[in-house]
Amino acid sequence: MMNPPIRNWQGKHVWIIGASSGIGRALGELFARLGATLYVSARSQAPLDEFVRLHPTSQAFALDVTNSQSMASAFNEITCNKPLDLIVYCAGHYAPMRAQDFNLEEALKHMQINYCGALNLLGAILPSLLKQRSGHLSLVSSVAGFTGLPKSLAYGPSKAALTHLAEVLYLDLHPSNLGISVVHPGFVKTPLTSQNDFKMPALISAETAALEIVKGYEQGTFEIHFPKRFTRFLKLLRLLPYRLYFLIISRTTGL
């Protein structure tokens, strides 16, 4: 057990950034059923309003993760009267990319949303978390950040950076009684992965992903990865010498 476990969600204050669709939306729906006091954020207001209509105890705060002031304003408004027990950074951007089709603007957009947005979040929340000496920050990364994979030229490096960030945050903040976790989903059926033109191994639903994530929080886990039949295979691959790794990936993907 590496983090203080959270086993009773009734009345816990949870902020999900990236809650308009996919894993973030499924997490919000699960937390609402578990009795958490929920705050949901994303860039677009309309899906947040729809979420609040379906879950009247939740509140919506639209924001732009690439804008530090937008992030800070939302955090200050949410926490004006109460501390947060859990903050989940689930904002994400994905577009398949290979070197032959490199697009600088698109590559930078991945970094701005997937990684720099998390830095903007840290700038907003760290002083308060350090002062209260409680709470949990969870960064939703991806198995695409484990090692280099085809069509992941923009996405993979941004998620690798997010994983590295979580590891350093744990080392720095665990002594202050703050929970830090990183989430490494495999293939999850979401609007983002619907862009893939290949068969996704061990594909699971966003609802299944949400259950796995919450189980990780309840167990006090640092790294939450799933489905394990897939993620363990990728973990094994990254232990291989590069000669073998590149050969297996090329033969497996045909790219």
pLDDT tens digits, residue range 238-250?
Answer: 999 999 999 999 9
**Does 172 fall in a domain?**
yes
pLDDT value at residue 145: 95
Pick from 29, 99, 20: nearest CA to 60:
20
Report the predicted TM-score, pTM, of the whole model to 2 decimal places. 0.95
Q: How confident is the model at residue 253 (pLDDT cuts 50, 70, 90)?
A: confident
pLDDT at 166 over 90: yes
Question: Cβ(222)–Cβ(182) under 8 Å?
Answer: yes
Q: Structural domain tally of the chain? A: 1
**Does 116 fall in a domain?**
yes
Tell me how many helices (H) and strands (E) the chain has. 9, 9
**Does 246 fall in a domain?**
yes
**Does 33 fall in a domain?**
yes
**What does residue 105 show for φ and ψ, rounded to 5 degrees?**
-60, -40
Domain span at 73: 13-253
188-221 pLDDT, tens per residue? 888 777 787 777 788 899 999 999 999 999 999 9
**Does 136 fall in a domain?**
yes
**Does 4 fall in a domain?**
no
Q: What angle do CA 39, 42, 46 make, to 5 degrees?
A: 95
**Does 39 fall in a domain?**
yes
Enter the tokens of residue 9.
């969600």
**Does 8 fall in a domain?**
no
DSSP element (H, E) containing 226: strand 223-226
Domain at 37, CATH number: 3.40.50.720
**Does residue 175 have a cis peptide bond before it, meaning omega lies within 30 degrees of 0?**
no
